[in-house]
Amino acid sequence: MNETRRRGARVRLAVAGAATVALLGPLVWLWVGSLTPDTYSVMDMGYADYGGRTPAPAAGLPDHSAHLMGAGMHGHAGHTPAGRSVTSFTPDPGRPADVAVTLTARRERFRLAGGRSVDGYTLNGTSPGPVIHATAGQLVQVTLVNESVPDGITLHWHGLDVPNAEDGVAGVTQDAVRVGGSFVYRFVADQAGTFWYHSHQVSHEQVRRGLLGALVVAPAVRPPARTVDTVALLHLYDGARTVNGREGDVRVRALPGDRVRVRVINTENGETPVWVGGAPFRLVAVDGTDLNEPSPVRDAAVPVTAGGRADIEVTMPADGAPVRVHIGGPTGVVLGSRSYDPPAAPRPTTTLDPLSYGRPAPIGFDPDSPDRRFTYDIGRRPGFLDGRPGVWWTINGHMFPDVPMFVVAEGDVVRVRIANDSGEPHPMHLHGHHAVVLARDGVRATGSPWWVDSLDVGDGETYDIAFVADNPGIWMDHCHNLPHATEGLVAHLMYEGVTTPFTVGGPDGNAPE
Ligand code: C2O
Ligand code: CU
């Protein structure tokens, strides 16, 4: 090769190299910037959003522009000089338990009622785990034992506004319980209603494969005679649609004239319609909160948000005919006394809209002069998530972990506008609080107060919600389509002055999503 040609080749290489750097440089920069450290505190994620207030002196969180990830720990002394750890928020340690349950988790093969065998996780040998029953006001104590779940486990009490230390989020309120370990949860079940529990360690995988169960809190006043109360927990195991772990219908005995409450729990990743064939029904509660003056409904489907609950009440027909509560399809719960094979009713074309169902009632605070206003704007764009290229969710234009940390102070009235133009619906779940829906797409709510802990925000929709910050701690605020949470649709609500000693990652492999 002569000298000129060699030089030419070198020049061409150099030009190509420069072009590559020009093209790839910003990509490499983005890629490096997306890497999350092996261990980090959620307190260091993203940037503080004070919802229009100035931070309390020494609140310790950096401002909107600062990107904290990797910056290491820093103090969050708020009202109290030293800050207060999430672990300090517990019920009275001296109070004895009224309901005590031990749940032992195992990785194993188990059989669904109806035959199919599933490779997954059980609690006390079954999935779903046992239904936990309590009466409003009782102190519930659950001892969780990990016998053989390799990644470690936790339990989160979905929809119950428990004290922060009991919330069961690995890396935020506790370390994952490793094989051979245990953890005791204690909380007062002060709200009567339908709830559920599930692991919040590697939750997208552990919930799907069975680490979940129902939790029912009965009202302190005894229900009238001739009341039947039943749980209908929907879950998909390896694609098999089940109710209470059974493929096909669940049969519940109910006599003519009986009032039956069917507590539908949607543990799936998507919204599920529920409808009733054979009798009118009322939607009497959503997400564990009774609705005010719900009227009888015929021929409408009730949308149940992923993670959400809907309590359906039916009065059994006088002629003894069976009633079918359809849960997402032809099967569900059949209520009857003599026969249990009513025909399947087609899915109604109309959908019950909680925004205008029932009658208004006081909500106990004024949402029109809030102390904080936040936006939770969900979008999607190409980029890197922890070094992986893809099209990822964004919150207020930022990609995980560079997302807002919503900061409040105890007692604040908080208003949040959730907007979604990401192309897909998102069932948004705020831990530790119930929020009331004020409006959807600017249309004000006119029905019963509609309190939610899980709210399906459809593509193109905007919801205005409000809540009172009355449960100090650090709380997840994420999408309950759990794979979406692993794709970065996770933020936190943090009270000024609260700190956590736990970290994501670390020796216990904490991985809440
Ligand atoms: Cu049902 Cu963050 O969880
Ligand atoms: Cu989502």
Q: What is the mean pLDDT of residues 236-241?
A: 94
Residue 158, ligand 1, Cβ within 6 A? yes
Can the peptide bond before residue 348 be classed as cis, meaning omega within 30 degrees of 0? Answer: no
Ligand nearest to the CA of 156: 1
Interatomic CA distance for residues 496 and 56, integer angstroms: 7
Nearest CA to ligand 1 atom 1: 158
The pLDDT of residue 63:
46
The pLDDT of residue 73:
34
Interatomic CA distance for residues 200 and 457, integer angstroms: 22
Residue 235, ligand 1, Cβ within 6 A? no
Residue 200, ligand 1, Cβ within 6 A? yes
Residue 204, ligand 1, Cβ within 6 A? no
Report residue 33's pLDDT band, with 50, 70 and 90 as the boundaries: confident
Residue 476 CA: which ligand 1 atom is closest? 2
- Report the percent of the chain where pLDDT is more than 90: 83
Query: Over the stretch 245-303, which tens digit does the pLDDT of each residue have?
Result: 999 999 999 999 999 999 999 999 999 999 999 999 999 999 999 999 999 999 999 99
Write out the residues surrounding ion ligand 2, Cβ under 5 A.
426, 479, 481, 484
The pLDDT of residue 154:
98
Residue 429, ligand 1, Cβ within 6 A? yes
Residue 15 has pLDDT above 70, yes or no: no
The pLDDT of residue 315:
97
The pLDDT of residue 141:
98
Taking the centre of ligand 1 as the mean of its atom positions, its distance from the CA of residue 454, in whole angstroms, is 9
34, 158, 251, 327 from 312: Cα distances, Å: 45, 19, 16, 11
Query: 40-44, 154-158, 355-359: which has the minimum mean pLDDT?
Result: 40-44
Taking the centre of ligand 2 as the mean of its atom positions, its distance from the CA of residue 368, in whole angstroms, is 28
DSSP secondary structure of 316-350:
PPTT---EEEEESSS-EEEEESS---PPPPPPPSS
Interatomic CA distance for residues 471 and 86, integer angstroms: 11
Interatomic CA distance for residues 297 and 373, integer angstroms: 36
Ligand nearest to the CA of 428: 2
Average pLDDT score, the chain: 91
The pLDDT of residue 14:
53
Residue 282, ligand 1, Cβ within 6 A? no
Report residue 31's pLDDT band, with 50, 70 and 90 as the boundaries: confident
Residue 454 CA: which ligand 1 atom is closest? 1
The pTM of the full predicted model, rounded to 2 decimals, is 0.91
Residue 196 CA: which ligand 1 atom is closest? 1
Query: 92-101, 367-376, 380-389, 476-485: which has the minimum mean pLDDT?
Result: 380-389
Residue 26 has pLDDT above 90, yes or no: no
The pLDDT of residue 28:
80
More confident position, 319 or 5: 319
The pLDDT of residue 19:
63
Ligand nearest to the CA of 159: 1
Residue 80 has pLDDT above 80, yes or no: no
DSSP 8-state symbol, 291 = P
Report residue 2's pLDDT band, with 50, 70 and 90 as the boundaries: very low
Interatomic CA distance for residues 478 and 492, integer angstroms: 8
Task: Report the Cα–Cα distance between both ends of the chain, in Å, rounded.
Answer: 59
The pLDDT of residue 34:
77
Residue 106, ligand 1, Cβ within 6 A? no
Report residue 4's pLDDT band, with 50, 70 and 90 as the boundaries: very low
DSSP 8-state symbol, 31 = H
